[in-house]
Structure 1
């Protein structure tokens, strides 16, 4: 049995999620941790033997309360960047990587106080070979899509309702209908359902199909895969 090794994320940081990616191009996986109470993202670089360095942090602004992060090359320079959704101040923070483990100052995209973005996801939603971003917003019950129209520049690509008081808390993107486009599936915690939004090739979404789950099951996260071969 392997030995457990613990790494501190700080005193009372409310570490909400962790993402794994090679941020400094040394072929070893690194950790990205969203520290909600400390309003920052912590990064711990991995070593060859499977251990990790002490974390360094990047601020997501005071009062932001980051929840989840997603990683991708958002500005086309072949380096890994990080996008973080901030629940309390209703924003999406993007920091761009230099490829050596350091990052630019934060770029912030506001969705409005009270929107409560809960989960972020990335993919090429409009087939222009650039990575776009999307969040599910628990406070306003919408999917917010950000399309990349120039590298390192995003614009609002659309807002799609998940239903009043649905509490959309998680989203996954995958090609659900074999048309080579990325579709969206959303878990609605309060509505006890999953909604699937099929995509058009311009990045917009069609009217959703709803799949109910047993009452009071309150789905909190969602994943996609080929479960029946």
Structure 2
């Protein structure tokens, strides 16, 4: 952790253990034990674990809390935290690029999670990045993931209880795309998607043109900017 001085300067740092000798790949900050102090959740590279460091509010953190996932191969390429089932506890959503799925861990409010649930993103897709928003306007959070191997975006519509429907595909992304975000780029009240990568000097925006009900798929129109 590198500490800021409030004037734009980042000064000294302190290291905190994340458990056994396995590379940490992704992380997200949130209050996972509802004590109003920021904590850190970390996704590992090889080991199927989500590690939580509970914060003390002073810039220091407690020992690692190890949350095992139901997986053999793992690569936590992206992780995010949101209360996906609206129970007042932060949950964790992580892409598993090694097993072509999204894992959802519902929080217990103490830095631990219920057993992970996995949802397929398609065969040999290698989901690398993601975004959590309401993409079909039903008031329930959905998941969009960027599939690195198959060059497409998969969308999983949420049911509001921490589970998700089968993936649906938006085709036609560029090779080498690694990162994506979701936002309402044209201010029409619908969440759009933008992505970019290493092998193209462009950013592409998928505008959400959905006029559908919650059970139907939304359409996207593509605009590329250089």
- Deviation track 1:67-101 (CA, whole Å, cap 9, x = no partner) reads 11011111121221100001111110000012232
TM-score of the superposed pair, with normalisation by structure 2: 0.86
- Deviation track 1:28-75 (CA, whole Å, cap 9, x = no partner) reads 000011111222111101002221011112233121211110111111
Aligned-residue CA RMSD (Å): 1.9
Name the counterpart of 1:120.
130
1:143 and 2:157 matched: no
Name the counterpart of 2:44.
35
Cα drift, residue 174 of structure 1? 0.8
Counterpart of 1:168 (choices 177, 183, 193) is 177
Could you tell me which runs of 5 or more consecutive residues in structure 2 were left unpaired when the two chains were aligned.
6-10
Name the counterpart of 1:91.
101
Corresponding residue SS for 2:14: coil
Which structure 2 residues correspond to residues 183-194 of structure 1 after superposition, within 5 A? 183-194=192-203
Indicate if the aligned counterparts of 1:142 and 1:168 stay in contact, CA closer than 8 A.
Answer: no
Cα drift, residue 134 of structure 1? 1.1
Name the counterpart of 1:220.
none
Indicate if the aligned counterparts of 1:44 and 1:56 stay in contact, CA closer than 8 A.
Answer: yes
202-211 vs 25-34, greater mean Cα deviation: 202-211
Q: 4+ residue stretches of structure 1 with deviation over 4 A?
A: none
Q: What is the distance in 2 between the residues matched to 1:205 and 1:69?
A: 26
Could you tell me which runs of 5 or more consecutive residues in structure 1 were left unpaired when the two chains were aligned.
213-229
TM-score of the superposed pair, with normalisation by structure 1: 0.85
Q: What is the distance in 1 between the residues matched to 2:20 and 2:110?
A: 27
